[in-house]
Every structure is written in structure tokens, then in C-alpha cells.
Chains A and B, each alone.
Chain A
Amino acid sequence: MSNHEEHTEVHIGLRGYFAVFMILVVGTILTYLTSQMDLDIVFPGANTLLALGIAFTKMTFVILYFMHVRWQGRLIWLTALGSFFWIGIIFAFTMQDYLTRSVGNFPK
């Protein structure tokens, strides 16, 4: 049976895995170093945004290459993307409550 080649054979090779690994390591070091720098002068929350951006990038590489999603069919893509969308729902709809609450007058 040759079908296992079509859907699971990954064309990345050893070198590819090591390349992704290096990207992940570089990303980690970058996250650590930039966290020490005050980027809030650029805009408030820049540090967090950058750290999350790097984390998302690292995650994307792990998902696409280590988890082989790059070579998978539509259903797996839909599952992976859909899960993030769903987490987005719980974040967004919960935060829309907390962000629109008025803080109230408490006795000093």
C-alpha cells in the first residue's frame, strides 16, 4: 500500500526539523531579551504584544512543521483554526463584560 506516503510523508527532512528548532530557540531568546527593554514608550502594552507575537510565531512553526499540519487536509486545518477561534470566543465574550463594567463608587 502506498497511500501512507501521500498523506503522512513529510518532506521536511532532518535539516528542516533542526531549522525549525533553531527558529524556536531564537524566538525564546528574543522574547527573553526584549522583555527587559522598556517598549512601553512605543505604545502601552508593546512589550506584551511583542511577546505574544513571538509566541504565536513559535506556535505556528510547531503546529505546521512538528505537528505536520502543513501537509494535512482541510479538516485538520479547520480543527486547528477552529479551536483558536473558539478560545477567542471565550476570551472576547468574557472580557466584553469586564471591560464595560463601571468601577463604582467605593468609600475611600
Chain B
Amino acid sequence: MESVTAVGERNVVENPTTNYLNNGYSIWSWLLTKDHKRIAVMYLIVVSVFFMIGGLYAGAIRLELLTPQSDLLESGIYNKVFTQHGVIMAFFFLIPAIPAILGNFLIPLMIGAKDLALPRINLLSWYIYMIGGSLVLFALIQGGIDTGWTFYTPYSSTFSNTYVLIAGLGIFVNGFSSILTGLNFIVTIHTMRAPGITWFRLPLFVWAHYATSLVMILGTPVIAITILLLALERVAHVGIFDPAIGGDPILFQHLFWFYSHPAVYIMILPSMGVISELISNYSRKKIFGYEFIAFSSIAIAVFGFVVWGHHLFVSGQSPYAGMVFSFLTMVVAIPSAIKMFNWTATLYKGSISYDTPMLYAMGFMGLFLIGGLTGLFLGSMGLDVHLTDTYFVVAHFHYVMVGGTVLGYLGGIHAWWPKMFGRMYSEFWGKISAMLVFIGFNLTFFPQFILGYLGMPRRYASYPPEFQVLNIFSSAGASILGVGLVLPVIYLTYSLFFGKKAPANPFLLPGLEWRTSSPPPTENFRVRPVVTWEAYDFGDENGLDRTEAPKVQD
């Protein structure tokens, strides 16, 4: 029976000369790769590009909103800017980022496998993402779309004269990237686990991705058919969303949100998976309530499918249906709360180190708390009548999406950077960026709760002058946030060339991914691991201890 250290010794080669990065240098060895790690790196590059583009649109929005008049961008252009910000961020960043980058890279390592179950499908997912993304970028360059990322009918089906068809096609295609990734993860987690890895020895990161994959498979096809119906209606100039012939525009909203609500759980569940890992690792303590967190991931995935009507409270949906959706929205908050309690309990009496990933993780906990609680405000029908389509909603979803997903993403990228690239990044700059992100984010979005409550509507280029001060705070915050988000690009890239070489396990963490070289060899493990220990096992008998993690010289 392999002991932990024995596996580590056999699999770890410090400063490996051959690893997945230098195993072939030609462009074809990358573009035709089947290696999940290379595919993850390719996703990292393109997802980062889309994040930048989405961020530029956000910058334009905040610039315009410095003044009450729509002086920088007139309304029609402003409509395009916020639409495109939403489309790019939702479909091309938030949904794929953590699963396609960190999930792809880490899941086989965490389960002791050589690769995902279906490597060619994995590569296909990347190409599909590229095609979908190219179509959307093409639509943007041709003139863009102005329907809002939600494409509500009848504006999008009948009246908008923008490039809805091409953008819709791009999103349709991109959906299959998501579906195939989810499919791949589920198969992999079922069939590729190394001997000894039972379901309850899996890291919670893997559980989170399993739940996410369920949502990807069951939800994405519905948005696909919805976009198809919208496209058909645009081409045919008649259709089922057209009230003139007895169609129902609200049916579009039902079909759209059937996916798009679970989609937000696709965005947050992987981030929660990262947070589970980070909280445990950086308090050097076994995660508290493992089964609760694991099952609550599944519960969020399942319950997330029956709450979509809370986006339709004021649309004309029946109030009786609204009551059902409102009640279920309260219920879906419970598993998330369970996780928060368990993470907090994990921190208690832990040996906490305030490294960059931990700063992001703790930031997540605070910001997701606010975002999640404000979701409950929006989920009560009566309150939603007042708050819907105001900046309150905008603030809510940015707290969960940026405060939640982006912080989890950045925390994860930093935590596993040494593993992925074999280099240590500058902790100093990491901490500076994390703090800038946290401060900038709060300054940007907290005033928006107040603005929304006071009645400032969303998706408007102009607003009443009494809202200007809060808008200025918000835009100021956005500039700080922008700096905080750009810095990692610089210092992380710098570390690739000039960073200190990373040992296999710089922080003496118990995860299986740390028991192979940094960066790993193409086949992940030189010797097939046989796992005999529980997840998050920081105990003495495995050669790790609970004292401080070794300090990394900057």
C-alpha cells in the first residue's frame, strides 16, 4: 500500500526538465493537444481576452454615468455598451472561466487520473468556444446588439435592427462548449478516479464541479432552443412570441430564464468549490462539515432550476406562480447559507495565513454574503416590484458575480499558479491587487444599492441630477477596481519568466494535485497514486503538520 509520502516521492521531481509545458513546442502541439492542462492554459488566454473586452465596456458605462446627461454615449450606443458588457461577461467569462480553466486543469490531478475521460471532446469544447466567441465579436464589430443581454421579445424578435442573429448564433454555438465540458466532467468523475478515491474522499472542488456540470447539461439546451426560436422569428417576421397573432412574449422570458437562472449557479458553484479548498488550505484545517457542503452543492444545482420566475415578477406572470417562485427562491438560499456557516466553522481555530488566495477567499465570504442576502430582498414579490429594474438589482448581481465568482476565480488562479506554471508570483503585488479589488469593488457597487433603492433605473444613459454624487463614487471605485484587475495580468505574466521556481508543494498542502511536480508531467503522475487518506487530511501521520506553512521569499 502506497503511503502518502511514498507517492509524493515517486511522483515529485523538483525542477522537472520535462513537464506538460515543454512537451512539444510547435503550435500544432498546442492546437491539436489532448492534454487537459494545455487546453486549460489555452482557455486561460482566451477567457482573459474576453474579460478584458467586457471590462472595457464596463469602463465605458462608468465613464458615461459620471454625469447625469447622456453626453459621452447617446442612448442608442449606451444600450449597445451595456448589452455587450453583459453578453461577453456572462457567456464568455463567468460561465466558462473556473470550470474550463481550473476545472480542466485540476480535476484529473485531484482524482489521480491521467486526463479527462474524453480528451478530444475537451479540445472540441475549446474550439466551439472560439467559434462562438468569434461570431459574437464579429457581431460586435459589425455594429453590435442593443437588446440587453436578456434579449427580451418583442424588441429582439421584431423591432431591434441590430445584429441579434449573428450574436445569437455565437451564443448558441458557445452553449455546446459548456454542455460538452459538463458532460466530460461528469463522466470523468464517475469513471476516472484513482483507486482509493471514494466519493467522500473527493475534494469539494470536484463536488462543486459535478454539481455545476449537472446544471450545464440540463439547462444549456433550453437557452439553445430559445435562441433558435428567437432567430427563426427574426427571420420569418412572425412567430410564437408575437402578441399580434396570439403569441406570448413572456414565454420567451420563461424559456430564457429557465436556463439563465441555473446559469448563475454555473457561475457561482465552481467558485464555491475553489473557496472550500482555499479556506481549508489557508487555515491548515480540515474543512468543517464536508458532507454538508458536498450535498448543498447538489441541492443548489437542483433547486436552482425551480426559481426562475423570480425574474418575471413584474412581467405579467401570474401572481400565483410568482408566489411559488418566491417561496422557492427563499429555499434555494438555504444551501448557500449552509456553506457559509461551514466555511466560517473551518476558519475557527485554524492556523490562518493571509496569503493572496486567502484574501480573495475571505473577500468572497463577505461579498457573497451581501450579494446573497440582497437576493432575498429581490426574491420577495412585494419588494421586487419596487426594486426590479433598478440599480439594486445591478448591485446584487455584481456582488455575487464579481464579489463571488471573480474573487473565487482570482483566488484560485493565484493558489494554483505555482502548480500550473511552476513559478511563484510576487506575494507583495498579489496582496496589493487583492486589496485594490476589494476596496474598488465595494466603492463601485455599494452605492448602487442605495441608488437602486432611491429609484435609479438600470439600463439608462441619463439619470436625475440628485443621483450624481453616488454615481461618482461608483465610477471612482470602478477605476480602482480596474487597476486591481489589471495588476495580476502584469505580475503573473512577469512571474512566468522571472518568478522563483516553485517546488512541488510550496505550502505543504494535502491535496493530491500537490503530490506531483510543479508543473506536472503530461501524464500527471509518474506512478499511479493509490489513495488511502481522507480529503483535507492535515494530520501528523501523513508527514504534514499543522504549524505555519513555509514562508515564501518574495
Contacts and interface: CB of A to CB of B under 8 A. Distances in A.
11 contacts: A75-B190, A86-B218, A89-B306, A93-B306, A93-B325, A96-B318, A96-B320, A97-B254, A97-B321, A100-B320, A101-B318
- Give the most central of B218, B222, B312, B325: most A CB within 10 Å: B218
Nearest to A83: B218
B320 A94 contact: no
Nearest to A92: B306
Contacts of B222: 90
B287 to A, nearest CB: 26
Nearest to B308: A93
A75 B191 CA distance: 12
A96 B324 contact: yes
Chain B interface, >50% SS class? helix
Interface residues of A, number: 13
A100 B321 CA distance: 7
A96 B317 CA distance: 10
Interface in A63-108: 75, 83, 86, 89-90, 93-94, 96-98, 100-102
Interface in B289-346: 305-306, 308-309, 312, 317-318, 320-321, 324-325
Nearest to B218: A86
Contacts of A98: 318
Interface of A: 75, 83, 86, 89-90, 93-94, 96-98, 100-102
A100 B318 CA distance: 6
B190 A97 contact: no
A96 B222 CA distance: 18
A94 B305 CA distance: 12
A100 B251 CA distance: 14
A97 B309 contact: yes
- Give the most central of A90, A96, A97, A98: most B CB within 10 Å: A97
Given A75-B190, A90-B222, A90-B258, A96 B305 contact: no
Nearest to A98: B318
Nearest to A93: B306
A83 B305 CA distance: 13
Nearest to B328: A93
